[in-house]
Every structure is written in C-alpha cells, then in structure tokens.
Chains A and B, each alone.
Chain A
Amino acid sequence: MITETQKKNIAQNVYKESAAPIIEVEHLKKTFGSNVVLRDFNLSVYPGENIVAMGKSGIGKTVLIKCIIGLIKPDAGSLRVFGKDISKLKHWELDELRMRIGFVFQSSALYDSMTVRENLLFPLRRRHQIKIEGTVEERIREVLRNVGLEHTIDLMPSELSGGMRKRIGIARSLILNPELMLYDEPTTGLDPITSEEITDLILDLQHKYHTASIIITHDLELAKKVANRLVFLVDGIAYLQGTYDELKNTQDMNVKPFFN
C-alpha cells in the first residue's frame, strides 16, 4: 500500500517537462453534426506525466482520448502521438502505435463471452510477436496480482462486481506494458475503498513503469492525488491548465463552481 506522503512525492516528482512530449495536440477540432465538441483544442503530454482532464459532462473529454487512440477521426488540427501524426498512419501502423497505449473504458468493455484469463490473453494472442518475459500464464497472473484479482482468473465478467470489472479492464490494458494510459472515468460508480485502490494503482504504474496517463474524471479526490497537471475543458478548448491547487484556488467562474 502506498502512503499519502509517497503518493504526493510521486505526483510531484515523476513528471519532468524537459523531455519531448509524447502527445502533441494542436488546434484540434471535432464536430458531430451541428454540435461542436472540440474547438481549437491544444495540449501536450510529457513522459511519465499524469494529466487529469476535467469539465462538464458532454464537453468532449472522451472524444479527446478517442481521437488520441484513433477511434474517432478529428475534423481538423494536428494530433501527434509518440511523434507520429495519427491522421497519416496506415491501419497497420496505427495498430503498432496502439500497442504502446492502454485504454481503460468507462464501461470496462470486457468481452462478455470470454473468461478473465481469455480477456487478458486476447491482446497477447493478437500481438504474439511481442516478447514477454516468462510464460503467458505468468504474465496474466502478474497483471492480475497488480490489480489484486488473481483469484478471478477463471471467472466470467458477469460474475464480477463493477469495481472488479474496472480493475480487470485496467489489467487488460496493462498486459502489453503500455507507455501511455488513457483512463475514461476509472472511479465512476465505485465505492470509496475501490476508488482508493484504483488511485493507488494509477500512481503505482507511474512510479514503477514511468507510464504517462490522461485520466478523465469528475472525482476530485482522484484528481488531487494523481494529477501532475489538470486540464479544464470549457466549450471545446483547454480553458485552464495547472496543478490541482492552482485550479482549486482560481476565481474563474467557469472553474470555481466545479471545485466547490
């Protein structure tokens, strides 16, 4: 278990802005029909940095991370991930890039027809060229141990609680040792204890593997503990950026009510 002091140290010390950014978003625009979701959005993410994206529901946070992983195609602007322009990648190049990114869905998105083991095996089997130390079974057990759910290995997703499903979703994203994690509301709908465990897990990943993350959340406790930098979205732009305390103490009326 990580102590409060350790958590603070991790959050403050790991992120070093001196390195080249792994994600560069410039003037990104995305509309759905007449609804402009992202409008001139700009953001850079550096290696090992935890970015928390906050803002009202429907403001475009999920659209942003889905654009980053190539699930949604932006209308305009530039989006470079690990130095590669997402819009110019061929399908197989995008698949290669996705191997370096983990994505945790809000709904966990576990494959219903597969056991936990098969869910974790799926990305490994699809990416059999990846060399993983030890056997596949050991690797599956290792990531399950990391999320504290080794005993669920043979269960079906329908037999798991919401919190367990979420943690298995994280385990599945971790199995390929990603350099970047994208979390879509990882603690929504969970009890405080499970939320705390997921918070620890995010910090643990940053600490152990120097993994950068973009975390979409409305959970202020999570934001406070894991964020090196917060990005507050208003009207499709990165309206305000800064540390948790900076944003909490701002007098800007677009942001202040959120923290109160």
Chain B
Amino acid sequence: METEKSENRVLFSKAIDKFFEDTNELGQFTVRIFREGFRPPFEFREVLRQCYIITFSTFPLVCITGFILGLVLVLQSRPTMMEFGAGAYLPAMSAISIIREIGPLVTALICAGKIGSGISAELGAMKVTEQIDAMEVSGTNPFKYLVATRILATTIMIPVLTVYADMISLLGAFAGSNIKDTINLTFFFNRIFESLHFTDVIPAFIKTFFFGFAISLVGCTKGYNSKNGTEGVGKATNSAVVVSMLSVIVIDMVVTQVSGMLGYL
C-alpha cells in the first residue's frame, strides 16, 4: 500500500516535471522565433509553398465539416426556436454562433489535427534521419527555413481558412433552413448581416491568428525536438495534436474573457 502511494507520488512528480519541461521548451521556441525567424534574409518562397500546402491539404476537410455543422446547427435549433416563436431569428442565431465560436473553433481543431500533426511528423522524421543536420551543414539555418516559415504560413492561413469555413457553414445553415421552410438566399443573408456587428467579427477573427500561431508552434516544437527514432516521432506527433487542441481551447477561453472585459460580448 505504502509502496503504491510512493510510486504514485513519483509518477505525479514526473508528470509535473514534464509539464514544466514542455512549457519551458515552448517558451524557448517562441523567443527563438522572434529572435531569428523575422530577420533577413527572408524565406518568402518557402512561406508561400507552406501556405499553399496548408490550404490545399485542409480546404476540402474544412469545407465539408463547415457545411455539415451549419446544416446540423439549424436542424437542431429549429424545433426549440419554433416552440418559442423565434423562428425568424434562426439566421441571426446561426450566424452569430458560427462566426463567433463554431467556425473559428472547429477550423482550428481540424487544423490542429491535420496541420499540427503533419508539421510535427515531418520535422520529427527530418530530425531522426539527419536531414535537419544536413540543412545546417549546407549553410541554411533550419530553424528559420523549416520552423519560422511554417509558423508564419499557419498563422496567416488559419484566419483565411476560418473565413472560408464561416461562409460554407452559413451556406449549410441556409440549406438546413430550406429543408423545413422555404427561404430566399438574399433574405437569409440580409437577416444575417443585419444581426452581425463588428464586435462579433473582430474578436473572432483576431483569435484565429492566435490559434494558428499556437498550432504551428506546438507542432514545430514537438517535431523539432523529437528524439529516440521513429518511436519518438510517433510520440511527438501524438503529443502535438493533444497539446495544440488543448491550447486552442484555452486560447478560446482567454480571448472570450478578454473580449468580455473590453466590451466586445
């Protein structure tokens, strides 16, 4: 019994150590990005290539998920809203839900799974096969070429993908509204734009930059620091997905709180 307790204490202590080690690693990486990543010469070509890869790989997934979410949101909400005689507010409700929360959050979670894991696995594999070392000996700063470019590209492209996802989601909501009622597209979007304010759009848009930064930062940190061969790459990738998803949710909560304090809620 006593031994079991002691083992549990050791495991708990190790978990705490690991948490602080990971936090320290992320902190050091962030400092290094601002110190090295944004100094000339800039890797514009690689940033553009990464933007293309990120958009190309995630766009279909974001579109399908966005459309279904918009459609399901309307189908699920409609009966309750009709019960309260608030059916006319369905476009406004779906627009505010999608633009403020569902669009950015779902896009970020999809990207955490798709982009975060991809970055981590790619950098991890490059690390264990000495490709990062090869890059360094050929006179290229691998941190700048591989890490800074991916972080910049993801930070730029996740807001763009979120805008796409919001639009597709709203179309899904329109389709959902037309299953039980007949509603005109112009009328539907007019109701949406009447109900939306900048205070709905701006904080939601700003937080997507943080989502992008966090997802790529975690993916790069885990991949770049992966050890112990292919097993280490697997663990790094798994950890990248979990930590980046958690980061997205924590950032979402913080931004919502800050928006509230600034009067944007």
Contacts and interface: CB of A to CB of B under 8 A. Distances in A.
Contacts of B139: 95-96, 98-99, 123, 126-127
A107 interface: yes
A82 interface: no
A103 interface: yes
Interface stretch (B12-20, B126-134, B206-214, B232-240): B126-134
Chain B interface mostly helix, strand, loop or mixed? helix
B186 interface: no
A71 B136 contact: yes
B138 A126 contact: yes
A109 B134 contact: yes
Contact residues on B (Cβ < 8 Å of other chain), bracket: 10 to 19
Nearest to A105: B130
B134 A126 contact: no
Interface string B160-187: 0000000000000000000000000000
Contacts of B130: 105-107, 109
Contacts of B58: none
Contacts of A106: 130
A230 B137 CA distance: 25
Which of B133, B136, B138, B140 has the most chain A CB atoms closer than 10 A to its own CB? B138
Contacts of B137: 69, 71, 98, 101, 103
Contact residues on A (Cβ < 8 Å of other chain), bracket: 20 to 34
A126 B140 contact: yes
Contacts of B131: 109-112
Contacts of B115: none
A110 to B, nearest CB: 8
Interface in A49-107: 66, 69, 71, 91, 95-96, 98-99, 101, 103, 105-107
B172 to A, nearest CB: 35
B95 to A, nearest CB: 41
B30 interface: no
B33 to A, nearest CB: 15
A184 to B, nearest CB: 9
7 contacts: A91-B141, A98-B139, A109-B129, A109-B131, A109-B133, A110-B134, A123-B139
Give the 8 A-B residue pairs with the shortest CB-CB distance, closest first: A109-B134, A123-B138, A109-B130, A95-B139, A103-B137, A126-B140, A105-B130, A98-B139
